[in-house]
């Protein structure tokens, strides 16, 4: 009878150790899960930040492209203005020459 009680007590201690080991393992797993969740949240935040940076970069590229288009248009207008100035100078010279001719007559 005493041997059975001793075996039972030993088995009980063994079970308690297994339960403690199981709890320790469960605690470790919970900590690892929490750590993985924190890392995941951090990566999500980095992803959100990268998306915002990308959107900003795209907007900047669009502004640059619009600016280049405007610069091209301005260059065309400046070229047209230069032609008009040349034409105006030529017309002014013709007018002056015509006046001189009419005054000398």
What are the tens digits of pLDDT across the range 16-32?
999 999 999 999 999 99
Q: Report residue 7 CA to chain centroid gap.
A: 68
Counts for the chain of helices (H) and strands (E), in that order: 1, 0
* pLDDT mean across residues, the chain: 88
Percent of the residues in the chain that have a pLDDT greater than 70, as a whole number: 89
Give pTM, 2 decimals. Answer: 0.49
Angle at 27 between CA 24 and CA 28, to 5 degrees: 90
Confidence of residue 12 (pLDDT cuts 50, 70, 90): confident
Confidence of residue 5 (pLDDT cuts 50, 70, 90): low
Residue 46 has pLDDT above 60, yes or no: yes
**Per-residue exposure over 87-105, b if at least 16 CB sit within 10 Å of its own CB, e if not:** eeeeeeeeeeeeeeeeeee
Tell me the C-alpha distance between 29 and 95, whole Å. Answer: 97
Query: Which of helix, strand or coil describes residue 105?
Result: coil
């Amino acid at each position: 009878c005493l041997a059975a009680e001793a075996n039972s007590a030993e088995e009980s201690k063994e079970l308690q150790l297994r339960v403690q080991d199981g709890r320790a393992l469960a605690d470790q797993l919970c900590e690892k899960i929490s750590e993985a969740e924190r890392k995941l949240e951090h990566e999500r935040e980095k992803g959100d930040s990268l998306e915002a940076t990308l959107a900003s970069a795209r907007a900047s590229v669009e502004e640059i492209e619009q600016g280049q288009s405007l610069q091209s248009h301005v260059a065309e207008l400046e070229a047209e203005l230069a032609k008009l100035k040349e034409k105006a100078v030529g017309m002014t010279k013709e007018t002056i020459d015509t006046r001189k001719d009419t005054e000398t007559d």
